[in-house]
Amino acid sequence: MVESLYLDLKARPDLEVISRLVDPGHRVLDLGCGDGIFLKMLREKRGAEVLGMEISQVEIAKCIANGVPVIQSDLDDDLDFAEDGSFDLVILSQTLQQMRRPDRLLRRLVRVGKRGAVSFINFGHFHCRWQLMLAGSMPRTTQIPYQWYNTPNIHLGTIRDFRRLCKHLGIRIVQEIPIGFSFPLLTAAWPNLFAVGCVFVIERAQ
């Protein structure tokens, strides 16, 4: 099971980046943890103490089968079960754009976590801009495979938008790790245009 996960990490470079942020003994909370296999890897390979949060009964059953502790809850609700700063790292992976109020979720994330790792899909990527400009239709990419009428993504944003939101909320961006499948130099220099996504390491401003 764990060996197959490494293959998945190669297809999800954002998770590979996040895994490197976890040190042995870290308390890690994954908001929207899915089947829990990533948390299982963090526990077994990185020595982390893990907890997942998930709303789907099907995914919760998979978490339990994978031996991962999980809480059933809607991410749009408060994180009342956790005290301030009770986790070393809180993970939010490619989920923020599906929330009704991303701003509120980010505030809760930096309250319960000393730091957060937010994997963000960049709707400002040049493939998206190209499709809008030439085809005049909502973009579909590997990161955004849905049609406009069945997409779970209700808040489309760019890397620049995320930076502005953090500034507005008084959240400090500790690190940005842009993710790109091609043009590495351009991705690093102009992530808002060439990165398909970005991992932001954030914390509450002191």
How many whole angstroms separate alpha carbon 9 and alpha carbon 11? 5
How many whole angstroms separate alpha carbon 200 and alpha carbon 164? 13
* Tens of pLDDT, residues 59-74: 999 999 999 999 999 9
Tokens of 101: 């109020």
Average pLDDT of span 119-138: 90
Average pLDDT of span 113-121: 97
Tokens of 94: 């490619």
How many distinct structural domains can be found in the chain?
Answer: 1
Of the pLDDT bands very low, low, confident and very high (cuts 50, 70, 90), residue 3 is very low
How many whole angstroms separate alpha carbon 66 and alpha carbon 198? 28
Work out the burial of residue 184: count CB atoms within 10 Å of its CB; fewer than 13 is exposed, 13-18 middle, 19 or more buried: exposed
Question: How many other CB atoms are found less than 10 A from the CB of residue 47?
Answer: 12
pLDDT at residue number 12: 87
List the domain range (segments joined by +) for residue 66: 2-9+17-204
Q: Which residue has the higher pLDDT, 142 or 121?
A: 121
pLDDT at residue number 1: 35
Query: Mind giving me the DSSP string for 149-168?
Result: TT-S--S---HHHHHHHHHH
Average pLDDT of span 28-45: 95
Dihedral angle, C-alpha 93, 101, 99, 20, nearest 10 °:
0
**Most confident region among 2-16, 133-147, 159-173 by mean pLDDT:** 159-173
| Matching residue, tokens 């976890």 | 22
User: Which residues are paired to 177 by β-bridges?
Assistant: 199
How many whole angstroms separate alpha carbon 173 and alpha carbon 2? 31
Quick check: 172 pLDDT over 60?
yes
Quick check: 9 pLDDT over 80?
no
- What is the CA angle 188-175-152, rounded to 5? 80
pLDDT at residue number 135: 87
DSSP-derived secondary structure letter, 112 = H
* Tens of pLDDT, residues 130-165: 988 888 888 888 878 888 888 888 898 999 999 999
How many whole angstroms separate alpha carbon 65 and alpha carbon 79? 24
Radius of gyration of the chain (CA): 17
Of the pLDDT bands very low, low, confident and very high (cuts 50, 70, 90), residue 5 is very low
Quick check: 52 pLDDT over 80?
yes
CATH number at residue 180: 3.40.50.150
